Amino acid sequence: MAAEVLTKFSPDDGACEITLNRPDKLNALNLNMIRRLHEAVDKVDAKLGKVGCLIMDGAGGKAFCAGGDVQMIREEGLAGGSLPADFFFEEYGIVFRLATLFERTGCVQMSLFDGITMGGGVGLSTHGPFRIVTEKTRFAMPEMAIGLFPDVGATQILSRLKAGPAVGLFLGITGTNISAWDCLEAGVATHYVPSARLPELRNKLLSRFRAGLVGAAAMKLCEEIIAETSGGSSAQSESPVLSAENLSVINRCFNAPTVEEIVVRLRAETCDFAAETLQKMFRSCSPTSCKVTLQAMQDLRRTPRSIGEVLQTEYRLSQRFTTRPQPLSDFFEGIRAVLVDKDRKQKWNPSWDSLGEITEEKVSEFFSPLDAGHSRGELHLEDMFAFSESRRSAFPEVHLKSKL
């Protein structure tokens, strides 16, 4: 059986390539892959001050990463297993390590969105400074359809988009699938490179990075190599989701303070885009997930937090969504409808007709600290991966206090 995560260093350790290698599953993350990713990042951390560029990509030509293997989480959760606690605990750990990679080591992460990039794949990649899209890119955070929420740090990513928080909330609540052009417009991606030129990009990075070229110098070299490889090409914009007309609707409707008001504003619009967006929400999106997502993103707009703090909150949310008993859990119902029976007829509880039953008090319960008896306890990433205070301002060394 082939390794599900491949790690390759350049001859003098100046660059490293990590490849997600589960192409038959569109490189969807399981717990084994997450643990192998921790081992790969351990190797990068062990070469502190040497590795200046970390390339992340996916095998098979169809996807960078289609997300997490949530069907297995559902099966284990229904059986009373620990996977819902273990999977998110360890997944958020690797997201944190990659999100703080430059701060810790001066190593620049470059992720290649060559194909489907969704869910957990977004968390592995979009916290880094270089996010490359191609003509094959399809990006989404589709968790609403399975009764979850945009996690892996996406509540922070979406609330900070260049295109504005309304666009982030639109993408988070609707799970809309967007192209390379839209990714660049929103600020999800930073650069466009044609898919056929990605091998050239990889080869240049692996051959031209020398050990010790880190920090600002590494950023500069990455910019130069991307410019050389892109050849002046740009993403095409046929039928963009984030057209000027659609952006006007998004900004009018998704700046609303409540989900109820978003619905009212969409109904007041006269264009097809608004009607289709509302229909999609009613057809596919968990109303509980929508309300929790709105609250999470509003909280971050009011009070910015570190990525470690964001992931701690998201871990609480993940446990509330994946361990609520039947028939209360929209997560179990969403996975059933989308991945098990595949009828896509989710029976949300409460339903959109009972939106008022999802009160502020009920939403707040999702955000409360985990019970003392929780199998993993609270997620304290800054403590688990403690930074050296004397070097925090540059790219401090990481010291692993406890193995995941």
Would you list the DSSP string of 46-106? HTTTT--EEEEEESSSSEEE--B-HHHHHHHHHTT-SHHHHHHHHHHHHHHHHHTHHHHH-
H-helix or E-strand spanning residue 169: helix 165-174
5-399 CATH pick, 3.30.1490.100, 1.10.10.10, 3.10.129.10, 3.90.226.10: 3.90.226.10
Q: Catalytic: which of 151, 182, 330, 333? A: 151
Contact assessment for residue 33 and residue 4, using Cβ atoms and an 8 Å cutoff: yes
Q: Look at residue 400 and tell me whether its pLDDT is greater than 70.
A: no
pLDDT of residue 397: 35
Q: How far is CA 179 from the centre of its chain?
A: 16
Q: Which residues pair with 275 in a beta bridge?
A: none
pLDDT of residue 385: 80
Sign of CA dihedral 66, 122, 375, 39: positive
Write down the residue that tokens 């060559």 correspond to. Answer: 114
Annotated catalytic residue 168: no
Annotated catalytic residue 343: no
Q: Look at residue 388 and tell me whether its pLDDT is greater than 50.
A: no
Q: Look at residue 398 and tell me whether its pLDDT is greater than 50.
A: no
The Cα 192–Cα 282 span in angstroms is 34
pLDDT of residue 80: 85
pLDDT of residue 345: 95
Confidence of residue 393 (pLDDT cuts 50, 70, 90): very low
The Cα 311–Cα 404 span in angstroms is 15
Q: Which residue has the higher pLDDT, 144 or 382?
A: 144
The CB-based long-range contact list for 202-205 (8 Å cut-off, 24+ gap) reads 202/17, 202/55, 202/57, 204/228, 204/229, 205/15, 205/17, 205/53, 205/55, 205/110
Q: Catalytic: which of 143, 182, 185, 330? A: 143
Amino acid present at 313 = T
Q: Which residue has the higher pLDDT, 327 or 212?
A: 212
Percent of all residues in the chain with a pLDDT value above 70, rounded to a whole number: 94
What is the arithmetic mean of pLDDT over 206-212? 98
The Cα 304–Cα 47 span in angstroms is 32
What is the arithmetic mean of pLDDT over 68-94? 92
What is the arithmetic mean of pLDDT over 229-244? 87
278: left (phi over 0), alpha (psi -120 to 50) or beta: alpha
Confidence of residue 328 (pLDDT cuts 50, 70, 90): low
The Cα 23–Cα 20 span in angstroms is 8
Q: Look at residue 189 and tell me whether its pLDDT is greater than 90.
A: yes
CA distances from 38 to 124, 187, 214, 351 (A): 12, 27, 21, 39
pLDDT of residue 185: 96
Q: Look at residue 404 and tell me whether its pLDDT is greater than 80.
A: no
Q: How far apart are the first and last CA of the chain?
A: 24
pLDDT of residue 234: 83
Q: Which residue has the higher pLDDT, 334 or 232?
A: 334
pLDDT of residue 326: 61
How does pLDDT run across 350-365, given as a tens digit for each residue? 999 999 999 999 999 9
- For the chain, the average pLDDT equals 93
Confidence of residue 373 (pLDDT cuts 50, 70, 90): confident
Annotated catalytic residue 120: yes
Annotated catalytic residue 232: no
Q: Look at residue 401 and tell me whether its pLDDT is greater than 50.
A: no
Query: What is the longest distance spanned by two Cα atoms in the chain?
Result: 61
Q: Look at residue 231 and tell me whether its pLDDT is greater than 90.
A: no
The Cα 53–Cα 225 span in angstroms is 12
Confidence of residue 325 (pLDDT cuts 50, 70, 90): low
Closest CA to 311 of 152, 179, 159: 152
Percent of all residues in the chain with a pLDDT value above 90, rounded to a whole number: 86
The answer to which of 20-34, 122-136, 257-271, 379-393 has the lowest mean pLDDT is 379-393
pTM of the model: 0.93
Helix %, strand %, coil % of the chain (to 5): 50, 10, 35
Q: Catalytic: which of 14, 52, 67, 68? A: 68
What is the arithmetic mean of pLDDT over 156-160? 97
Kindly give, in sequence order, each residue whose CB lies less than 8 Å from that of residue 341, ignoring residues fewer than 6 positions away. Answer: none
CA distances from 346 to 56, 140, 340 (A): 34, 19, 12
Confidence of residue 305 (pLDDT cuts 50, 70, 90): very high
Closest CA to 129 of 99, 90, 169, 160: 99
Confidence of residue 203 (pLDDT cuts 50, 70, 90): very high
Q: What tokens appear for 373 in the block?
A: 């008896």
Strand, coil or helix: 394: coil
pLDDT of residue 183: 98
What is the arithmetic mean of pLDDT over 221-234? 92
DSSP state for residue 338 in the 8-state scheme = I
Kindly give, in sequence order, each residue whose CB lies less than 8 Å from that of residue 303, ignoring residues fewer than 6 positions away. Answer: none
pLDDT of residue 243: 96
What are the two backbone dihedrals, phi and then psi, of residue 235, each rounded to the nearest 5 degrees?
-70, 140
Rounded to 5°, angle at Cα 110 from 108 and 113: 165
Q: Look at residue 391 and tell me whether its pLDDT is greater than 80.
A: no
Q: Catalytic: which of 93, 106, 119, 120? A: 120
